[in-house]
Amino acid sequence: MTVTGDTVILHQELAYADVLPVSFRRLPEPLDPVNAATITERNLRLLLASAALDEHGHHEKSSDDSPHAADLLRIDLKVNLLLDLVGALLAATQSRPSPVPARFNPHGIVWEASGEVPPAGAYGLVEIHLRDCLVQPLALAGTVADEPAEHHVHVRFDPLPEPVADQLERLVFRRHRRQVAGGRTQRRV
């Protein structure tokens, strides 16, 4: 794992870095095809929902001079406020793991374990809660890679189905793009 300025790298590719609720649930054996298909569908819906929320989340000054541009911006702000409130209510009613620093991409994840550290070679599901307003976590199967150092857990994911891997790469890229843009804005100020 490498961090260079605004860029976070994991397994020689861009990685999503944030403080998120992450947990590891051990499984006695790899997922059967039916459960794997169900998890794949849920992950794809979750990543698409996250992408839709990302689109709604940015308020740039509109270059549109139409008479309805200001009204649309106000409605967009109200919808985002409503989503934030619903997310806060959902987060308060669900038990989630404590947020921890984590970095992940379609190949794997590294996070700081706040509790028991799974042993190297353990197989299971890593559950990543991407947003408070999304009820279900992103669930990715994999194997704990190395002996953890200083309570860091490194899991290499099983190969992801192409649609999920593609959406996860897009999530990572959108996050990277926002971090780079944020860094430029801070340097100008």
**Residue-wise pLDDT tens digits, 148-173:** 677 899 999 999 999 999 999 999 99
> For the chain, how many structural domains are there in total?
1
Residue 7 lies in a domain: yes
Angle between helices 33-57 and 162-188 (to 10 degrees): 30
Show the tokens assigned to 37.
């298909």
The whole-model pTM stands at 0.79
Residue 13 lies in a domain: yes
Name which of 45, 73, 75, 69 is nearest 59 in CA terms.
Answer: 73
**Residue-wise pLDDT tens digits, 123-154:** 999 999 998 888 899 999 999 997 667 789 99
Q: What is the CATH number of the domain that holds 110?
A: 2.40.10
> d(Cα 149, Cα 126) in Å, to the nearest integer?
18
Residue 112 lies in a domain: yes
Q: What angle do CA 30, 31, 36 make, to 5 degrees?
A: 145
Question: 140, 44 in Cβ contact below 8 A?
Answer: no
| Three-class DSSP labels, 21-61 | EEEEEECCCCCCHHHHHHHHHHHHHHHHHHHHHHHHHCCCC
> d(Cα 129, Cα 134) in Å, to the nearest integer?
8
- For each of the chain's 189 residues, which pLDDT tens digit applies? 454 445 677 767 899 999 999 999 999 999 999 999 999 999 999 999 888 887 755 545 455 567 788 888 788 778 877 877 777 777 677 788 999 999 999 999 999 988 788 999 999 999 999 988 888 999 999 999 976 677 899 999 999 999 999 999 999 999 888 877 766 555 555
Fill in the DSSP letter of residue 29.
S
Residue 150 lies in a domain: yes
Residue 88 lies in a domain: no
Question: 174, 51 in Cβ contact below 8 A?
Answer: yes
**Alpha carbon of 132 to those of 53, 88, 141: distances in Å?**
12, 6, 22
Its domain, for residue 32, covers 2-54+97-188
